[in-house]
Amino acid sequence: MAAASSSDSDACGAESNEANSKWLDAHYDPMANIHTFSACLALADLHGDGEYKLVVGDLGPGGQQPRLKVLKGPLVMTESPLPALPAAAATFLMEQHEPRTPALALASGPCVYVYKNLRPYFKFSLPQLPPNPLEQDLWNQAKEDRIDPLTLKEMLESIRETAEEPLSIQSLRFLQLELSEMEAFVNQHKSNSIKRQTVITTMTTLKKNLADEDAVSCLVLGTENKELLVLDPEAFTILAKDAVTSLCFGRYGREDNTLIMTTRGGGLIIKILKRTAVFVEGGSEVGPPPAQAMKLNVPRKTRLYVDQTLREREAGTAMHRAFQTDLYLLRLRAARAYLQALESSLSPLSTTAREPLKLHAVVQGLGPTFKLTLHLQNTSTTRPVLGLLVCFLYNEALYSLPRAFFKVPLLVPGLNYPLETFVESLSNKGISDIIKVLVLREGQSAPLLSAHVNMPGSEGLAAA
């Protein structure tokens, strides 16, 4: 009896909740196999019979092909494959002719697929964007075999991190490859022209001439490169390309809360805030933080602090003059040293804006064989440097190098390039000398920058 009473009370409670709810449970199917999001759902009278259907751009989970599904009630009425993953769905009237049945638009990547009577009707593709000039120049160099795939990868990664414009699909695919696959990819695609394409991120409709419910509408596309495109519903050409350029909020006409926007194409948008709109106040505090009103625990003034303050007050002028004199002497010595470095090409930093380079050297080893590593860096932000040479000047009676002259590969901006060589000491008396490193441009005799490397001695080996 107790169990029966409990069951009856639960049933009465469920009926009471359903009666108090604002919604009626029309249908529930956890196994409907529909995988989508809000932008890919649309409701429309597709057949002009007054009965609205549910249009679903199904993503196709688990590697399955995306599909277009139309539901009538709880049942799938039609189902057809889609060429790519959908990003948004919308229904709109293209023309005034009878029967007044709407068309269906599905956005996917850079394309919009238009269906009439649930059959493919038209495909619109976004116009291509101009490629990054530096990226185009790199692929041109790869086409002429002037740079190797590894250098191409480093340079493209630098462009991707610094440039405002994204890379092309070809470059992005190249950066995902393993080192062993790069050369084959470059040989296959180096002759192709660089194409950069944006994608559609959102889509809606806009009445073309009339504000009636059954009026002809235009498709409005929002793209990843922050543009707004309005398409003609008949010819599917771009009527306008806008972006909001200014905002103003305040009283306009008789309305207190009006938001006014202008677009890049010269358009004007006016929005009025509903008088019934309710905003929930956030929990953030207004005004200065509470810590600002707290007093700091300042220590008491010591005798030494008071004496130093009195000394600075009495001899402040003389102390300032002595400081200025020392500062001027320091600046003079620095300027003289800098001028001497420029005249003798001893600066590790280049002074020309065309080749902004930085060089420093590191010597490793105990002798008689040393490892000399040159760290060469292009300090430019966007421009690569090509056609450099490295030359070593040394006493041939004391040292021997396998290569006293070699070419430098293309220097990508911001990357540090270690250039290694070995130096063999020929003296058995532990005598050390200076090796001068020069960085030159091909066809020029004056060095761009240089460094003096103080080679360590090998006294211990000589004694042994």
- Distance (Å, whole) CA 186 – CA 178: 12
Between 118 and 3, the more confident residue is 118
Token look-up 């001068």 returns 436
Q: Quick check: 96 pLDDT over 90?
A: no
DSSP state of 110: T
Cα-based distances in Å from 418 to 271, 373, 377, 445: 60, 6, 9, 24
pLDDT at 459: 47
- Distance (Å, whole) CA 193 – CA 216: 39
Mean pLDDT score, 114-125: 89
pLDDT at 351: 57
The helix (H) or strand (E) run that includes residue 125 is strand 119-125
pLDDT, tens digit (0-9, with 9 covering 90-100), for 147-189 = 888 888 888 888 888 877 778 888 888 888 888 888 888 888 8
Q: Of the ranges 120-129, 210-219, 413-422, 454-463, which one carries the lowest mean pLDDT score?
A: 454-463
Q: Of the ranges 267-281, 380-394, 420-434, which one carries the lowest mean pLDDT score?
A: 267-281
* pLDDT above 70 coverage of the chain, percent: 88
Q: Quick check: 392 pLDDT over 80?
A: yes
Q: Quick check: 349 pLDDT over 90?
A: no
pLDDT, tens digit (0-9, with 9 covering 90-100), for 416-431 = 888 888 888 887 777 7
pLDDT at 353: 61
pLDDT at 113: 92
Mean pLDDT score, 326-355: 74
368 preceded by a cis bond (ω within 30 of 0): yes
Over the chain, what is the mean pLDDT? 81
pLDDT at 464: 27
Contact between residue 410 and residue 385 where contact means Cβ atoms under 8 Å apart: yes
Q: What is the pTM of this model?
A: 0.50
pLDDT at 463: 30
Mean pLDDT score, 82-110: 87
pLDDT at 345: 52
pLDDT grade for 12, boundaries at 50, 70 and 90: low
Q: Is 372 helix (H, G, I), strand (E, B) or coil?
A: strand
Q: Of the ranges 57-71, 255-269, 337-351, 371-385, which one carries the lowest mean pLDDT score?
A: 337-351
Q: Quick check: 3 pLDDT over 60?
A: no
- Distance (Å, whole) CA 263 – CA 380: 36
pLDDT grade for 90, boundaries at 50, 70 and 90: very high
Q: Is 12 helix (H, G, I), strand (E, B) or coil?
A: helix
Q: Give the up-direction half-sphere exposure of residue 234: CA atoms within 13 A in the CB hemisphere.
A: 5
pLDDT at 460: 37
Q: Quick check: 251 pLDDT over 60?
A: yes
- Distance (Å, whole) CA 369 – CA 422: 7
Q: Which of 344, 371, 309 is nearest to 452 (CA)?
A: 344
Token look-up 């976004």 returns 126
Between 17 and 139, the more confident residue is 139
Instruction: Using the CB atoms, write b or e for 442-460: b if 16+ within 10 Å.
Output: eeeeebbbbbebebeebee
pLDDT at 462: 34
pLDDT grade for 8, boundaries at 50, 70 and 90: low
Q: What's the helix, strand, coil split of the chain in %, to 5?
A: 25, 35, 40
DSSP for 426-444? --SS----EEEEEEEETT-
